[in-house]
Amino acid sequence: MLIAFGTRPEAVKFAPLIQKLRQTSGFKCFVCLTGQHREMLAQVIRFFKIDVDTDLKLMRANQSLEYVSGRVIIKFGKIIRTVKPDLLFVQGDTATALMVAISSFYSRVPIAHLEAGLRTWDKYRPFPEEINRKLITHLADYHFSPSPIATRNLIHEGVSKLRIYEVGNTVVDAVQLARPLVKKKYTVFKSVNFKNRILFITAHRRESFGQGLREIFNGLKEIVQRHKDIDLVYPVHLNPKVSTLARKILGRVKRVHLMRPLTYEETCWIMNRCYLILTDSGGIQEEAPSFKKPVLVLRDVTERPEGIKAGVAQLVGTNQHKIVSAANQLLNSETAYKRMIAKTNPYGDGKASERIITSLRKILR
């Protein structure tokens, strides 16, 4: 079994599966990093104690999607020829996942796709992930779907039901694995007043660059100024298109804490202690219900509608008025807030990795 990934979200979602595979007799698991991310990925590797067999070390400063894509295809082919896997596993919708899948297809190695079937049906939202995952679907031999909605999407695109395994999302497994490993406190939050209600923010999507982010940041500024009992925690993405605008609009606003990017464990810590989450991150949409925190999704469309349908998340887009209005409702109405607290996580029950192992026994027998 060859598992390849290159970003933090992939590592988080593969961590519980890698652990299960290495604890289960009959499976040999070879882990390859592409290095699409570096330090953010390394944090997760250390936190979950993932043993890495090889690292392609592709990352360089200011790398383009074209650079990452080309280098992965060239270098990963050598890994396939060396390892000679029975099955290759990719996760999600990154450049790494797509290019590894293409390389495996060229080598005629069967491909398993973890978190298959997510769709917005808009090729540019999110960009480039929507097209990445659709292309992987047409390359993959086995599709591990996280939900009935994702399963229906795959069937709609012509994937045989016999090739789909509906297992839930391993991100919920990862949260359960992480809980006992998270420390009691982290110094990065020392300036935050936890006597106030905490709003946790992430905003970095390419499709929001420019006016979208400007509306988000002005909305956050308005929320903080209206509510004197909140602190806003925003780990700012390093991309200058995000960080420059964030510091210009929010840098001098009282009770707004613009921080370095958080580690995965710090992110878990603050999600557990915050009052409300506003995010454009797919992973945080999935993780938040495990911490029983309402989510306002700072995107116009989402490929993860399960939270919306369950009532634990609300799509507010990048419009300043909509963001402020939705946040005010949850901050002013205890009834509205309680309605959005998840009783169970609609994305999974923490047993996805076990189901995948069971399915793999059938596939590889």
Among the listed residues 164, 105, 107, the one whose alpha carbon sits nearest the alpha carbon of residue 135: 105
Q: What is the rounded average pLDDT of the residues 308-314?
A: 97
Separation CA 152–CA 118 (nearest Å): 10
Looking at the chain, the whole-number percentage of residues with pLDDT higher than 90 is: 86
Q: Which architecture, in CATH terms, is 187-339? A: 3-Layer(aba) Sandwich (3.40)
In the block, tokens 């925190």 appear at 293
The strands making up 230-235's β-sheet, listed across from edge to edge, are: 256-259, 230-235, 197-202, 276-279, 295-297, 313-315
Catalytic residue among 204, 205, 257, 304: 204
pTM of the model: 0.93
Whether residue 206 lies in the annotated active site: yes
- 93 has catalytic annotation: yes
Is the pLDDT assigned to residue 38 strictly greater than 80? no
Report the C-alpha gap between 307 and 294 in whole angstroms.
Answer: 10
The residue annotated as part of the active site, out of 206, 214, 227, 355, is 206
Is residue 63 over pLDDT 70? no
Sign of CA dihedral 250, 255, 261, 267: negative
Identify the DSSP state of 289.
G
Closest CA to 34 of 104, 89, 92, 95: 95
Q: Which residue has the higher pLDDT, 59 or 128?
A: 128
In the chain, where are the structural domains located? 2-168+350-364, 187-339
Give me the chain's average pLDDT, please: 94
Instruction: Assess contact for 199 and 234: CB atoms under 8 A.
Output: no
pLDDT of residue 287: 98
Alpha carbon distance 99, 105 (integer Å): 10
The active-site residue, picked from 237, 265, 300, 354, is 237
SS3 54: strand
DSSP 8-state secondary structure symbol assigned to residue 288: G
Q: Which of 115, 130, 287, 303 is catalytic?
A: 115
Is residue 129 part of the annotated active site? The answer reads yes
Express each pLDDT in 176-225 by its tens digit: 999 999 999 999 999 999 999 999 999 998 888 999 999 999 999 999 99
Q: Which of 8, 37, 129, 207 is catalytic?
A: 129
Within 8 A by CB and 6+ apart from 292, the residues are 341, 342
115 given a catalytic annotation: yes
Which tens digit of pLDDT belongs to each residue from 219-251?
999 999 999 999 999 999 988 899 999 999 999
pLDDT at 62: 66
DSSP string over 140-199: -SEEEESSHHHHHHHHHTT--GGGEEE---HHHHHHHHHGGGS-S--GGGTTS-TTSEEE
Residue 35's pLDDT is what?
Answer: 75
- In the chain, DSSP assigns E strands to 2-5, 30-33, 54-55, 88-91, 111-114, 142-145, 164-166, 197-202, 230-235, 256-259, 276-279, 295-297, 313-315
pLDDT digits 0-9 by tens, 76-123: 999 999 999 999 999 999 888 999 999 999 999 999 999 999 999 999
d(CA 323, CA 344): 25
Residues 218 and 249: their CA atoms lie apart, in Å, by 7
What is the pLDDT, as a whole number, of residue 339? 96
Stronger pLDDT, 62 or 324, i.e. the higher one = 324
Q: Is the pLDDT of residue 272 over 90?
A: yes
Catalytic residue among 10, 71, 93, 207: 93
What fold, for 2-168+350-364?
Rossmann fold (3.40.50)
